[in-house]
Structure formats: structure tokens, C-alpha cells
């Protein structure tokens, strides 16, 4: 896992090269977009939907279930994101999308998804396999960007933002690792409470998932301003086991930032500590990749501090084995 995180910018370079060569056909009369995927494969869809929220002219729905919304039809762009190509829930959703005659594009490293793509002559982009899906977000996210740009639902400037992201992360590599190590020490034997300020919720979810899988620990996540209308009321008792971690970007809305300033004083009163992580970079994509890489390193260093293997996911393997009996 350490090598995979260290080589993240190389992954981005390879993924960009794959995207440059990929051929994606134009779509006709698309009225909505559904991106289907789960876990390490699916989080890319959540993040890309936020990246294009200010430019995409049709609604984008992220699907993380066996079923599909009833509105899916021949005017739906249905994008499958399954690293293994064998994700049970995604395959079921794909079968439904085929029946509903959606316009389908697949991003996968193989498995049944690749097989069905070739059988039905769907557009597909094949990415390298054999790695933990959560460590391959660079492959999935960039291919989703490729699909959405080629289909006319994302700005082509995102491609140049990928290059800028690579340069930024290479320049900031040692600084990110030092900060991540320090944060990991503060989170050891604690429960992280992760907040984002609205426009990068997917990145915060990604961080929670990395803590779950790499660090083998529970965490919870919420977003401003929504948490101001519910969860904030729960901050009433001092709890030394809680550490608040917040993600900030330069795109945070001014009123949302003011809300956080007020709430931070409350968190400081009741939590063990409050850790603010501020993204570097100019574009939204640069800042998202910066926060993703920071979160990945934190999760790795926590696993190292705990003396555990960040790669193994035995409990998920057990679940899949039990499900295979039915």
C-alpha cells in the first residue's frame, strides 16, 4: 500500500495516457446521467459529479445499489465504474440498464463488465488490474472525466488540470507525508469526525473509506451546511476520544466558511482536538487530488502505527464468501 500511494502521480500519468488513447462515441439526446459503482470503484463517480456540478446541464445521479431509478431509459447515459468488473451490485444494475436501453459506457479492468461490454459493443475503457480498487482512484476518476468530456458534459480544461495536479503532488510529496504522519499520530486510538465544507464531500467520504479499509477503524463523516441543521445539536458532551478533521478548499462558499468558524469553537470545547486540512492548488481537481493524497497517507501511517496490514480486507472477503452460498 505504501508503494501504491507513493506512486500515485505515476498512476495519474498512466491513467492520462490511457484516456488520451481511449475512443468514446458521442451520445444522442441525453437527459440524465447515472454513474453506478461501489466502494473504491464508486467513489470516483461521487467526486466527478462534484467536479462538473457547475457546468453539467443535466442531472447526475450516483447509484450504489442493485437497482436503478425508474427514470432510467434510452435517454440516460449510464456509466459503469467497477474496477474488478465483478461487483455484484453493479452487475445487477448494468443488467437493468441494458433492459432499459440506456446508453452505456464501462470503466473496468476486466471481469464480467468487460465481457458484457464486448458482447454488447458498449463503449468501454480498460484500466490496469490486479490492485486493491481503493488504491486505483486515479485510474477510475480520470477515465470518468474522459467519458464526460467526450460526451460533452464536462469541460476539456479538466485534462490540463490533471497535468497540473501531477506537478503539484510531485512538488508537495514530502510536505504531504510529514503533515499526514503528524495527523495520524493525533488520530491514533481516537475516533475521527470528518467534515467538509460543501463542495468536496466526496473527498471526505473517500478519506473515511480509507480509514475504514487501510487503518481498520471506524469514523464518521458529515458536511457543512447540512450538519448545522442536525448533527451540531449532538455536540453537548466532552468526549476525549473524538478528533474533528476538516477539509477546506478555496472554493468553499463564504457563508459556509463563516458557519465553520462559529462551529469550530464548539468542536474545540467538546472534542479532543480539531485538525484543519487546507487543500493546495488552483483548480478544483488539483485541490481534490491534494486532499485525496493527504488522506491516503494519513490512513497508511495509522496502519503503520497500529502495526496492521493496510491491504487486507478479510471481513469483506468473508461477506462475499457467505453471499456466494445464496
Residue by residue, DSSP assigns 273-310 as EEEEEE--SSSHHHHHHHHHHHHHHHHHHHHHHHT--S
What's the average model confidence in pLDDT over 206-217? 97
* Cell (9 digits) for 233: 445539536
pLDDT at 323: 85
What distance in Å separates the CA atoms of residue 111 and residue 82, rounded to the nearest whole number?
9
Which of 9-13, 24-28, 133-137: highest mean pLDDT?
A: 9-13
Confidence of residue 34 (pLDDT cuts 50, 70, 90): very high
Told to judge if 163 belongs to the known catalytic residues of this protein, a careful annotator would answer no
Is residue 178 within 8 A of residue 205, CB to CB? The reply is no
Task: Answer whether residue 29 shows pLDDT above 90.
Answer: yes
Domains of the chain in start order, with CATH, are: 2-155 (3.40.50.10490), 173-306 (3.40.50.10490)
Contacts of 45 (CB under 8 A, 6+ apart): 35, 36, 37, 62, 79, 81, 144
The dihedrals phi and psi of 55, each to the nearest 5 degrees, come to -135, -25
Percent of the chain with pLDDT over 90: 92
Q: Are 197 and 258 in contact (CB under 8 A)?
A: no
Distance (Å, whole) CA 148 – CA 33: 10
Confidence at residue 163, expressed as pLDDT on a 0 to 100 scale: 96
Cα angle 78, 85, 289; round to 5: 75
- What local confidence, expressed as pLDDT, does residue 287 receive? 97
The span from the CA of 228 to the CA of 76, in Å, is 35
Is 320 among the catalytic positions?
Answer: yes
Distance CA 287, CA 50 (A): 13
CA distance 326 to 32: 34
At 320 the pLDDT is 87
Averaged pLDDT for residues 275-284: 97
User: Per the residue annotation, which of 21, 28, 57, 229 is the catalytic one?
Assistant: 229
> Any residues with CB less than 8 A from the CB of 151 and at least 6 apart, and which?
24, 26, 27, 30, 77, 105
Average pLDDT estimate for 211-239:
97
Cell of 160: 490540463
Q: Tell me, what's the pLDDT at 41?
A: 86
* Cα-based distances in Å from 21 to 124, 214, 215: 12, 32, 36
Q: Identify the pLDDT of residue 18.
A: 97
- Report whether 217 contacts 194 (CB < 8 A): no
Catalytic residue among 213, 216, 248, 286: 213
Whole-angstrom distance, CA of residue 248 vs CA of residue 257: 9
0.85 exceeded by the pTM? Answer: yes
Mean pLDDT computed over 294-298: 98
Is 199's pLDDT higher than 90?
no
Distance separating alpha carbons of residues 63 and 148, to the nearest angstrom: 16
pLDDT at 196: 97
Spatial distance between the Cα atoms of 218 and 211, rounded to a whole number of angstroms = 7
Q: What is the pLDDT of residues 61-119, one digit of tens each?
A: 999 999 999 999 999 999 999 999 999 999 999 999 999 999 999 999 999 999 999 99
Q: Is residue 229 annotated as a catalytic residue, yes or no?
A: yes
Q: What is the pLDDT of residues 118-149, one digit of tens each?
A: 999 999 999 999 899 999 999 999 999 999 99
Task: Please state, rounded to an integer, the average pLDDT across all residues of the chain.
Answer: 96
Is the pLDDT reported for residue 324 higher than 90? no
The answer on pLDDT for 16 being more than 90 is yes
| Active-site annotation holder among 2, 175, 257, 320 | 320
Beta bridge partners of 275: 245
Amino acid at each position: 500500500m505504501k508503494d501504491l500511494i507513493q506512486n500515485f502521480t505515476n498512476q495519474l500519468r498512466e491513467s492520462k495516457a490511457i484516456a488520451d488513447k481511449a475512443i468514446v462515441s458521442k451520445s444522442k439526446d441525453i437527459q440524465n446521467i447515472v454513474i453506478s459503482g461501489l466502494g473504491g470503484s464508486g467513489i470516483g463517480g461521487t467526486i466527478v459529479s462534484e467536479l462538473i456540478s457547475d457546468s453539467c446541464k443535466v442531472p447526475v445521479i450516483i447509484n450504489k445499489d442493485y437497482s436503478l431509478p425508474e427514470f432510467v431509459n434510452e435517454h440516460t447515459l449510464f456509466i459503469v465504474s467497477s474496477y474488478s468488473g465483478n461487483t455484484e451490485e453493479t452487475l445487477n444494475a448494468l443488467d437493468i440498464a441494458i433492459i432499459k436501453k440506456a446508453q452505456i459506457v464501462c470503466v473496468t479492468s476486466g471481469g464480467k463488465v468487460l465481457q458484457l461490454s464486448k458482447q454488447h459493443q458498449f463503449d468501454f475503457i480498460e484500466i490496469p488490474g490486479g490492485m486493491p480498487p481503493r488504491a486505483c482512484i486515479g485510474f477510475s476518476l480520470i477515465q470518468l472525466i474522459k467519458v464526460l468530456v467526450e460526451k460533452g458534459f464536462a469541460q476539456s480544461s479538466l485534462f490540463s488540470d490533471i497535468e497540473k495536479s501531477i506537478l503539484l503532488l510531485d512538488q508537495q510529496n514530502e510536505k504531504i507525508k510529514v503533515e499526514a504522519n503528524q495527523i495520524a499520530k493525533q488520530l491514533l486510538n481516537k475516533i475521527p469526525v470528518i467534515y467538509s465544507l460543501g463542495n468536496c464531500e466526496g473527498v471526505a467520504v473517500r478519506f473515511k473509506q480509507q480509514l475504514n479499509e487501510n487503518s481498520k477503524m471506524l469514523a464518521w463523516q458529515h458536511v457543512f451546511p447540512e450538519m448545522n441543521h442536525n448533527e451540531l445539536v449532538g455536540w453537548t458532551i466532552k468526549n476525549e476520544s473524538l478528533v474533528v478533521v476538516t477539509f477546506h478548499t478555496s472554493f468553499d462558499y463564504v457563508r459556509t466558511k463563516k458557519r465553520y468558524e462559529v462551529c469550530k469553537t464548539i468542536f474545540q470545547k467538546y472534542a479532543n482536538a480539531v485538525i484543519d486540512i487546507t487543500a493546495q492548488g488552483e483548480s478544483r481537481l488539483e485541490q481534490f487530488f491534494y486532499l485525496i493524497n493527504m488522506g491516503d497517507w494519513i490512513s497508511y501511517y495509522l496502519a503503520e502505527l497500529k502495526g496492521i496490514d493496510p491491504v487486507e480486507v478479510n471481513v469483506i472477503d468473508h461477506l462475499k464468501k457467505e453471499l456466494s452460498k445464496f
